[in-house]
Amino acid sequence: MLPELPASLATSHTIKMLAIIKEWKERSGIHTDNTEMYLLLMLFKLGLDAVVFYLCCRKLHTSFLSMCSRSIILADLVMVFCMSTVWLLGAERSLVSPCFLLAHTSATFAALPLPMTCLGLLDYCIEDTCIGNQSALCKFLRNLVLTLLLWIVAVIYSFGTMNAKLIELDYETGVKAVVCEVEGSMLVTYFTLGLFTIVLFAMLPFWSRILQWVKEADRISELREEQENQRSDFFTSTPSTETKRCQEKYLEETIYPRPPLWFSLTLGFTMFWMPYLAISVMCLVFGYGVPAYITVNLLWLECTNSLLVGVVFWVKSKSQGPYSHLPENVCLWNVYWHLSKGTWQQQRPTAVFNPSKAKRNTLLYV
C-alpha cells in the first residue's frame, strides 16, 4: 500500500505504522496530498464489503456476527462520508483533519476483532441452550445492544490511546513528509498467518486424496440440490429417475477410504477461504503495512464466522449429527459431514392426500 510505511513501532496488542498525509520534494518543488488516495482506499473497502455482504449475508440472521457484519458496512459508510467531507472542504475548513480520522478509525477497528470473535463464539455455543432458545426479536435486540456497546467501547478506546497529531519527517533524499500514526490489527495478522499455516500442514498427509474427496463432495452437493428441487415440486408423485440414477452412481463410487470428520470439515473450510488466506499471507510476506480500518473487513469477519461455525458444528455433530440450529454458512458443513460418514440420507417422503385429485388418490411427496 503506497501511502503506508512499514511498521515502525509494535506493542503487545497492536501494530503501529505511519500514514503519509503530505509530502514535498525540495528539488522539484512537487507537493503531494494523499487525502484523495485514502478516500479511494476507503471506497474500495466499502465496495468490497458490499460485495461480500451480498454474497455471504443475504439472508437475515439473528446471530451476533451477522449483526456485526451490518455494523461494519454502516461504519464504512460513515468513514467514507467523513473522509469525503474533509477532502472536499480541505483540511483548513473541515472540522477534523485527515490525521484525526485515520488515527481514530484505525484504533477503533483494531479494538474490534477480539471481542467480536469471543462474543460470536459464545453466541453459537449457547444456541441450543435455554438462553439461546429465545424468539427472533429477543435475539435481535440482544445482539443489537451488544454490538452498539462494542462500538462505543472501541471508540472510547481510540480516544484514550491514539495521538492524532501530525509528525513531520525530513529524509536525507530531500523529501519532507507529514505523517500520522495509525494502528494495525495484531489479531487479524496472527489469525490469517496462523490459520493458513495450520490448514496447509493439515492438508499434507492427505494430499493425494484431496481431489477425489472434493469430487465426491460435489456429487453429494448435487444430490442435495436435487432433493431440495424435488421437495419443492408439489406435483411429483415419485422420485425422479435422474435422482435415482445419481443415488445409485453415488453408492457405486463411494468405496475408497473416507476422510476423518475433522479433516473433512477442514477441507470444506479450505475450499472457500484458502484464496483469502493466501492473499493475506502474501501481503504479510512482502511487508505491506495495512491499517486496521482496512484489514478488519467483511472478508475477515465472514472467514472468522465460518471458522467458528465449523468448530461448533464439529463439536455438536457428535451428539446431534449434521443437523444443528446454527445459521447457514458459505461452507457446506452438512455435505462434508456426509463425506466423512459415507452416508447421504434422503428424508423420508411424507404422503399427503391431494383433495383436488381425490378420484385418482394421488399422493404427493413433500
Name residue, grid cell 500500500: 1
The number of beta carbons lying within 10 Å of the beta carbon of residue 249 is 12
Query: What is the three-class DSSP state of 265?
Result: helix
Please give the pLDDT value at position 12. Answer: 41
Q: How far apart are CA 116 and CA 366, in angstroms?
A: 40
Close Cβ partners of 267 (under 8 Å, ≥ 6 residues apart): 203, 210, 213, 214, 217, 259, 336, 339
Compute the radius of gyration of the chain from its Cα atoms. Answer: 26
Among the listed residues 121, 103, 105, the one whose alpha carbon sits nearest the alpha carbon of residue 154: 105
* Identity of residue 247: Q
CA dist 265 to 207, 262, 314, Å? 15, 5, 8
Among the listed residues 24, 46, 47, 45, the one whose alpha carbon sits nearest the alpha carbon of residue 34: 24
Please give the pLDDT value at position 110. Answer: 93
Q: How far apart are CA 195 and CA 306, in angstroms?
A: 12
The β-bridge partners of 182 are: 17
Q: How far apart are CA 325 and CA 9, in angstroms?
A: 44
Q: How far apart are CA 286 and CA 283, in angstroms?
A: 5
Please give the pLDDT value at position 241. Answer: 52
pLDDT tens, residue order, the chain (366 aa): 434 443 333 444 567 888 888 888 777 667 788 889 999 999 999 999 999 998 887 666 778 999 999 999 999 999 999 999 998 888 778 888 888 999 999 999 999 999 999 999 999 888 766 555 677 788 889 999 999 999 999 999 998 888 778 888 877 677 888 888 899 898 999 999 999 999 999 999 889 889 989 988 888 888 877 776 766 554 444 445 554 555 545 444 554 688 899 999 999 999 999 999 999 999 888 877 789 999 999 999 999 999 999 999 898 887 777 766 777 778 888 888 888 887 654 433 333 334 344 333 433 333
Please give the pLDDT value at position 249. Answer: 52
Among the listed residues 127, 73, 101, the one whose alpha carbon sits nearest the alpha carbon of residue 326: 127
Taking phi over 0 as left and psi of -120 to 50 as alpha, with beta for the rest, 216 belongs to: alpha
Query: What is the three-class DSSP state of 10?
Result: strand
> What are the DSSP E strand ranges found in the chain?
9-10, 14-25, 30-33, 167-170, 175-185, 351-353, 363-365
CB 337 within 8 A of CB 322: yes
Per-residue burial over 45-74, b if 16 or more Cβ lie within 10 Å, else e, is: bbeebeebbeebbeeebbbbbbbbbebbbe
